[in-house]
């Protein structure tokens, strides 16, 4: 049976409900607190930022998820609760405690996330009142509100959900994500929360999450910066009643395929909503000697400010791509490298080719642009995604705190 696209985002899987409300963190009146809840105990897995400054919610959630189980996620936007000292740790723990009190859980069953400005303490009176309000509004129809409540500079909410037959049962996975700037994750995205009704052990759920993160969130970039608060979480409550996945068998591989579909779609939506982005760039490196080499080259191209500004200006300056490749420590032979913009080859064996500037303009005028680099040095293929660099990106980040 083919994979089926579902509608409800993070509550598409059986047994999950969500809510999103405004509790007063954002001056705009937009939603700023989300709560996600499983009606049954769930296996839990997480992948976290490798930034050496770890925000308080990252520290607390790492501790809580160590048991391999959880039932709820509470997240605020508008304040990162990062670089906030002992008070920040206390506040992150308190968020879990309050959510647990309202849901009849243990605090360790609640995972905590925050996003927003670094360096300020949380207004806990507003947060606590907001958690109580959100707990009373939990619903299978609350997925849209939850997706909105975790946003910061994002322009659109990001949802994805799919179903696939596994072990004779229809298994669903759905999620929400936020991210628009500070995107070059090196672990996950800014924030990603996925739920599934698959029956799977915590160890294999963690393995599946790590694998799919490496092929989704770890292959995107907007500006080359990682955040103090990045995390990707997944809860699996087993309500699909498929045979428990306890080994790397065909059922496990099908679950990875399902989770990969959700995470890849969310990752691409983050790039499409990149701060000030006017272009969605897909870079494919083929015939690389190793996956690691291909990834270095793909992200090296996408993280180059000169490459990004060339695409913003719709300038077929392929020399910037060559230069970006050459700055990496990847294994390649400069005399074998071919480069294509869309279907137009602009370089062969490391040297320029005559090409139609008119055709190049047509390709670069599109919103979605593909760049292909053929190394002719191996069999690995890597595809990564990024955005251009515009005047609007500078404007947004020049006044982020205001």
Decide if 375 contacts 333 (C-beta within 8 A). yes
Cβ atoms within 10 Å, residue 97: 18
Question: How far is 2 from 41, CA to CA, in rounded Å?
Answer: 29
Cβ atoms within 10 Å, residue 8: 18
Question: How far is 134 from 399, CA to CA, in rounded Å?
Answer: 30
DSSP string, 269-322: HHHHT-TT---EEEEEEEEESSHHHHHHHHHHHHT-HHHHHHHHTT---HHHHH
Name residue, tokens 């509100």: 145
Q: How close are the terminal C-alpha atoms of the chain, in Å? A: 50
Catalytic residue among 189, 212, 228, 264: 189
Tell me the backbone φ, ψ of residue 231, rounded to 5 degrees.
-160, 150
Q: Mapping DSSP to helix (H, G, I), strand (E, B) and coil, where does residue 46 land?
A: strand
Decide if 175 contacts 18 (C-beta within 8 A). no
Question: How far is 321 from 298, CA to CA, in rounded Å?
Answer: 10
For residue 15, is it left (φ>0), alpha (ψ between -120 and 50) or beta?
Answer: left
State yes or no: is 152 an active-site residue.
no
Catalytic residues: 189
């Amino acid at each position: 049976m083919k994979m089926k696209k579902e509608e409800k985002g993070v509550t598409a899987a059986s047994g999950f409900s969500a809510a999103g409300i405004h509790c007063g963190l954002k001056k705009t009146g937009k939603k700023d607190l989300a709560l996600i809840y499983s009606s049954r105990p769930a296996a839990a897995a997480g992948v976290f930022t490798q930034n050496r400054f770890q925000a308080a919610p990252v520290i607390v959630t790492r501790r809580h998820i160590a048991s391999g189980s959880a039932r709820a996620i509470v997240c605020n936007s508008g304040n990162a609760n990062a670089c906030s000292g002992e008070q920040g740790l206390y506040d992150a723990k308190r968020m879990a405690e309050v959510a647990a009190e309202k849901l009849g859980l243990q605090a360790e069953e609640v995972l905590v996330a925050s996003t927003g400005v670094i360096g300020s303490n949380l207004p806990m009176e507003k947060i606590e009142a907001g958690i109580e309000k959100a707990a009373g509004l939990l619903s299978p129809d609350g997925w849209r509100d939850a997706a909105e409540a975790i946003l910061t500079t994002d322009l659109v909410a990001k949802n994805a959900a799919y179903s696939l037959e596994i072990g004779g049962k229809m298994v669903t996975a759905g999620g929400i994500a936020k991210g628009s700037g500070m995107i070059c994750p090196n672990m996950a995205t800014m924030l990603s929360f996925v739920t599934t009704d698959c029956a799977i052990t915590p160890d294999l759920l963690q393995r599946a999450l790590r694998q799919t993160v490496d092929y989704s969130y770890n292959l995107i970039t907007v500006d080359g910066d990682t955040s103090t608060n990045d995390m990707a979480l997944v809860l699996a409550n087993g309500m699909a009643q498929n045979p428990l996945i306890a080994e790397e068998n065909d059922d496990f591989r099908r679950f990875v395929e399902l989770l990969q579909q959700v995470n890849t779609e969310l990752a691409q939506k983050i790039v499409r909503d990149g701060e000030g982005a006017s272009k969605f760039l897909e870079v494919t490196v083929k015939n690389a000697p190793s996956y690691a080499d291909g990834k270095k080259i793909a992200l090296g191209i996408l993280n180059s400010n000169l490459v990004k500004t060339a695409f913003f200006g719709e300038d077929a300056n392929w020399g910037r791509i060559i230069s970006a490749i050459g700055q990496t420590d990847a294994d390649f032979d400069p005399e074998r490298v071919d480069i294509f913009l869309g279907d137009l080859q602009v370089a062969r064996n490391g040297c320029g080719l005559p090409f139609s500037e008119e055709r190049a303009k047509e390709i670069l005028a599109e919103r979605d642009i593909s760049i292909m680099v053929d190394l002719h040095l191996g069999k690995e293929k890597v595809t990564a995604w990024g955005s251009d660099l515009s005047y609007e990106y500078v404007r947004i980040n020049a006044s982020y705190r205001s």
